[in-house]
Copies of this chain bind each other. A is one copy, B any other.
Amino acid sequence: MSELPIEPLSRRDRMRVDTVREIKETARKVLVEQGVDGLALRAVARAMGMTAPALYRYFDSREDLVEHVVADLYDELSDHLEQVRDAAEPATPGVQLMSTARAFRAWATTHHAEFGLLFGSAGEGVIPAADLHGPGDHPPQVASRRFGGVFAELISRVYLEQGFPVPDEEELEPALRAQLTEWCAKLPVALPLGVMHVFLSCWIRLYGMVCMEVFGHLRFALEDAAPMFESELQALGRILGIADEYRPPAA
């Protein structure tokens, strides 16, 4: 689809690329200020001194624009998490994983609307039948796979470098084992199925904690979910054998 001649970008093409970038940036600004429902084509156009139909020169529809924003957000989040991971001291997988998980929650709590778009049910109507996390080539799909890879790679490294207890293949139900095997085959490195199982379980717990906090489903019990998050993170650390590397957050 995209041919790569070395420098064929005409002045017009450069302008176009810039405009696309500006539209997506403006859309994101509108998303933050007005929420998901306020993310309207007309609002975006208005915010950048254009009219709504002009945006159709750059995106097929509102949905197409939102998809690209979603992809950009996944990429930006992945960039941020990788940065935090690489800056973690000491640079052991355990510390890196803990820091990255904490950074994920911090991003979620400070980017409410964006998080809802990426991880909530808001994306339901957006990426419709075509599964978001499917194997397709749409921008949000590749971007979300990259995001998932950050945590998957970290847990893999924790396992490879330090190890942690994982269930034997025989302990897993056959149906689950089959699915894990299929998934495992797609990964670059071969790992025991039990590692994938532990990864999924940990990711479910991390996702659940952050999701409940951001969507306000913990307010029935907790006013500030930060201590509970740290407690859950510590529990995950114990499962992965990296509890001793636990560090309270900087703030």
Contact = CB atoms under 8 A, between A and B. Distances in A.
Interface of A: 35-37, 116, 119-125, 131-134, 144-145, 148, 172-173, 175-176, 179-180, 183, 196-197, 200-201, 204-209, 211-212, 214-224, 226-228, 230-232, 235
A203 to B, nearest CB: 8
A67 to B, nearest CB: 15
8 contacts: A36-B125, A133-B218, A173-B231, A179-B223, A179-B224, A205-B205, A205-B208, A207-B208
Contacts of A173: 227, 230-231
B211 A176 contact: no
Contacts of A37: 125
A116 B124 CA distance: 9
For the complex, would chain A's binding face be called helix, strand, loop or mixed by DSSP majority? helix
A213 to B, nearest CB: 9
A173 to B, nearest CB: 5
B179 A219 contact: no
Contacts of A220: 133, 144-145, 148
A125 to B, nearest CB: 5
A47 to B, nearest CB: 20
Nearest to A131: B219
Contact of A216 (B122, B132, B228): B132
Given A145-B220, A205-B204, A124 B197 contact: no
A74 to B, nearest CB: 12
A124 B215 contact: yes
Contacts of A183: 221-222
Nearest to A127: B216
A173 B226 CA distance: 11
A224 to B, nearest CB: 7
Contact of A133 (B201, B207, B219): B219
A113 B196 CA distance: 30
Given A122-B121, A124-B215, A215-B121, A231 B176 contact: yes
A81 B185 CA distance: 39
